[in-house]
Amino acid sequence: MAQNNIGPKRLVVGAHYGLRDWLAQRLTAVLMAIYTFVLLFSFLTGSNFTYEGWAGVFAQQWFKLFSLVTFLGLFYHAWVGMRDIWMDYVKSVGLRLTLQMATIVWLLVCAAWTVQILWSV
């Protein structure tokens, strides 16, 4: 391989986006796990299981920001996972690229929607 690393046959690897995405998927996983426990804890330790109790959790500014960061992490996590699924099962390059772009656009829409939802209460 060493004498063949120039020209059209060279080994095109080393962008490191694989490692970066792998690491990001793990970090966002930990973040989402923590968020799950914090959300369960703040809701279940309250005695108010009505609308006020539920919306009250999300009315606090720190929880809005925590939620937003977690949801953004979720969308990144979902992107890595969906990209893996498309890469594994969709063999046509054109279709795969279309699906990947649609996934990105859709997740961005979801991110904007999440901001709107979180700041509506």
| Residue numbers at the binding site for other proteins (CB under 8 A) | 26, 29-30, 33, 36, 51, 54-55, 58, 78, 81-82, 85, 110, 113-114, 117, 120-121
Q: Residue 50 has which token pair?
A: 């009505």
CB-based contacts of 90-99 (< 8 A; 24+ apart in sequence): none
Least separation in angstroms between residue 10's CB and other proteins is 28
Q: Which residue, 20 or 26, is less far from other proteins as judged by CB? A: 26
96 within 8 A of 87, measured Cβ to Cβ: yes
Least separation in angstroms between residue 103's CB and other proteins is 8
Q: Which residue, 55 or 105, is less far from other proteins as judged by CB? A: 55
Q: Residue 86 has which token pair?
A: 């498309």
Name the residue type at position 36: T
Q: Residue 101 has which token pair?
A: 């772009």
Q: Which residue, 27 or 97, is less far from other proteins as judged by CB? A: 27
